């Protein structure tokens, strides 16, 4: 008697954030059925979660490439995936974040009649609504990390479900040695080498201005453990805490943070923050032309209003941001109002278990 075919899932992640998302879903799948075969393009978090890595992708992406080299890297990876899909016929291909790369993966999957799920909705609502036709062709289900997204996609004929976000789940804090000051400032410069090099010096300039007004200020830089070596050249002697963001956010009075997933970690702790993302002039012009949302920082997008000061994207405007930081620090009622707004906004994530919910949707597609 022929044994039933084992369910096979392929994840394709190209960035550190995608590595974490895929790992969450992989753990969810393993909890439901440990016999599921899981493969992927990704990094260390996926590997720890039990995914057999076909190619390490997230470390290279984090290090940064020139445009031509990056295009060639993606092309080679898509060719690897195309051959692997043809030989292994996975039940579902899960495209994790990085739509520019993953749309090519989805085309390869469709060529081989594979089911396709997107883990993290491409943010077409923010910059490219006309690409919805392509997404309709290249997905069977979109798993959304932001609560307003499913309605937008469903209205345009794309099946979508809000599953919560791993960043909004509880994380165990550890006892670490942190300085005690008034105020305590945490700088969160991101994970890519380019964004660290651009944003951390600006955050330090803001910190310097705060220190002039508040002599007892203490500060640390927080990042992922694997990003410490990228932060060190720009740290200027400030303590770096790698891989323990929760503990630092519990310690901090104010966070100076880049945009992206890290702002959700800050929101979960209800730590007052200022969002920023420094880019060059051409990128600012491009953003002004392409981005069509009033807000860019995730807590503001989720709240549907400005609850956190944000400068995204911005130029070299450390003095202006520093003045906003000082006004906030000098007004405890404003600090408390932001804390309350962050707690209220975070409630939409209560009761969601993103790894489990993603796994259930993936298996429904596999069985369909």
Q: Verify cis geometry, omega within 30 degrees of 0, for the bond prior to 124.
A: no
- The hierarchical CATH code for the domain 184-349 is 3.40.50.2000
Would you kindly state where each structural domain of the chain is located, as residue ranges?
8-165+352-367, 184-349
Provide mean pLDDT across the span 97-126.
Answer: 94
* pLDDT recorded at residue 233: 96
Radius of gyration of the chain (CA): 21
The pair phi, psi for residue 273, each rounded to 5°, is -145, 165
Sign of CA dihedral 204, 205, 206, 212: positive
Q: What tokens does 65 get?
A: 């490439």
* pLDDT recorded at residue 65: 46
Q: How confident is the model at residue 17 (pLDDT cuts 50, 70, 90)?
A: confident
* pLDDT recorded at residue 4: 64
* pLDDT recorded at residue 240: 97
Sign of CA dihedral 130, 131, 136, 141: negative
Q: What tokens does 166 get?
A: 């791993």
pTM for the full predicted model: 0.91
- Rounded CA separation 86/105 (Å): 12
Nearest CA-CA partner of 366 in 3, 1, 2, 4: 4
For helices 332-346 and 318-329, what crossing angle results, to 10°? 100
Quick check: 57 and 77 in contact, CB under 8 A? yes
* pLDDT recorded at residue 64: 42
- Is it the case that residue 57 has pLDDT exceeding 70? yes
Per residue in 182-211, pLDDT (tens digit) is 999 999 999 888 899 999 999 999 999 999
Quick check: 271 and 309 in contact, CB under 8 A? no
* pLDDT recorded at residue 232: 97
Round to the nearest angstrom and report the end-to-end CA distance of the chain.
Answer: 24
Per residue in 207-230, pLDDT (tens digit) is 999 999 999 999 999 998 889 999
* pLDDT recorded at residue 1: 47
CB atoms within 10 A of CB 233: 11
Q: What tokens does 8 get?
A: 């096979």
Provide mean pLDDT across the span 41-49.
Answer: 95
> In the predicted model, what is the mean pLDDT of the chain?
93
- Is it the case that residue 67 has pLDDT exceeding 80? no
CA–CA distances in Å: residue 209 to residues 14, 136, 326: 37, 49, 9
What percent of the chain has pLDDT above 90? Answer: 80
Question: Which secondary-structure segment (H or E) carries 149?
Answer: helix 149-154
In degrees to the nearest 10, what's the CA dihedral of 14, 44, 247, 207? -50
What percent of the chain has pLDDT above 70? Answer: 96
* pLDDT recorded at residue 60: 46
Provide mean pLDDT across the span 89-105.
Answer: 95
- Is it the case that residue 171 has pLDDT exceeding 80? no
Pick among 1.10.357.10, 3.40.30.10, 3.40.1410.10, 3.40.50.2000: CATH of 8-165+352-367: 3.40.50.2000
- In the block, which residue shows the tokens 């890290």? 262
Per mean pLDDT, which range of 33-47, 59-73, 95-109, 222-236 is the poorest? 59-73
- In the block, which residue shows the tokens 């290090």? 63
* pLDDT recorded at residue 3: 59
* pLDDT recorded at residue 328: 98
160 forms bridges with which residues in the sheet? 142
Q: How many residues belong to the chain?
A: 368
Secondary structure (3-state) at 71: helix
* Distance from the Cα of residue 105 to its chain's centroid: 20
- Rounded CA separation 299/273 (Å): 10
Q: How confident is the model at residue 16 (pLDDT cuts 50, 70, 90)?
A: confident
Q: What tokens does 299 get?
A: 């807590």
The bridge status of strand 37-42 relative to strand 8-13 is: parallel
Provide mean pLDDT across the span 326-354.
Answer: 98
Per mean pLDDT, which range of 12-16, 236-240, 301-305, 337-341 is the poorest? 12-16
* pLDDT recorded at residue 63: 39
Would 8-165+352-367 and 184-349 be classified into the same CATH topology? yes
- DSSP letter assigned to residue 130: G
- DSSP letter assigned to residue 305: S
- Is it the case that residue 80 has pLDDT exceeding 80? yes
């Amino acid at each position: 008697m022929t044994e039933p075919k084992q369910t096979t899932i392929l994840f394709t992640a190209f960035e550190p954030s995608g590595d974490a998302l895929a790992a969450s879903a992989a753990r969810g799948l393993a909890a439901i059925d440990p016999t599921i075969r899981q493969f992927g393009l990704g990094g260390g978090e996926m590997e720890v979660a039990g995914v057999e890595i076909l190619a390490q992708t997230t470390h290279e992406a984090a290090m940064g490439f020139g445009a031509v080299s990056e295009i060639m890297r993606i092309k080679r990876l898509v060719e690897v995936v195309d051959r692997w899909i043809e030989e292994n016929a996975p039940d579902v291909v899960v495209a994790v974040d990085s739509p520019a790369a993953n749309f090519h993966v989805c085309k390869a999957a469709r060529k081989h009649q594979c089911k396709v799920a997107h883990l993290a909705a491409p943010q077409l609502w923010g910059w490219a609504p006309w690409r919805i036709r392509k997404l309709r062709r290249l997905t069977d289900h979109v798993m959304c990390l932001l609560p307003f997204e499913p309605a937008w996609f469903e209205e345009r004929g794309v099946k979508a479900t809000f599953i919560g976000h791993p960043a909004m789940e509880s994380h165990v804090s550890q006892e670490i040695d942190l300085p005690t000051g008034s105020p305590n400032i945490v700088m969160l410069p991101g994970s890519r080498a380019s964004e660290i090099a651009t944003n951390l010096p600006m955050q330090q300039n803001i910190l310097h201005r705060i220190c002039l007004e508040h002599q007892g200020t203490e500060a640390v830089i927080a990042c992922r453990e694997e990003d410490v070596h990228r932060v060190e050249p720009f740290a200027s002697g400030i303590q770096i805490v790698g891989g323990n963001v929760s503990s630092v956010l519990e310690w901090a009075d104010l966070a100076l943070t880049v945009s992206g997933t890290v702002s959700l970690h800050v929101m979960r702790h209800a730590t007052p923050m200022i969002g920023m993302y420094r880019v060059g002039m051409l990128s600012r012009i491009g953003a002004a032309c392409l981005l069509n949302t009033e807000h860019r920082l995730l807590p503001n997008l989720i709240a549907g209003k400005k609850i956190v000061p944000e400068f995204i994207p911005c130029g070299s405007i450390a003095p202006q941001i520093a003045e906003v930081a000082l006004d906030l620090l000098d007004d405890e009622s404003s600090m408390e109002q932001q804390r309350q707004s962050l707690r209220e906004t975070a409630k939409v994530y209560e009761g969601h278990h993103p790894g489990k919910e993603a796994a259930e949707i993936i298996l429904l597609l596999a069985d369909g």
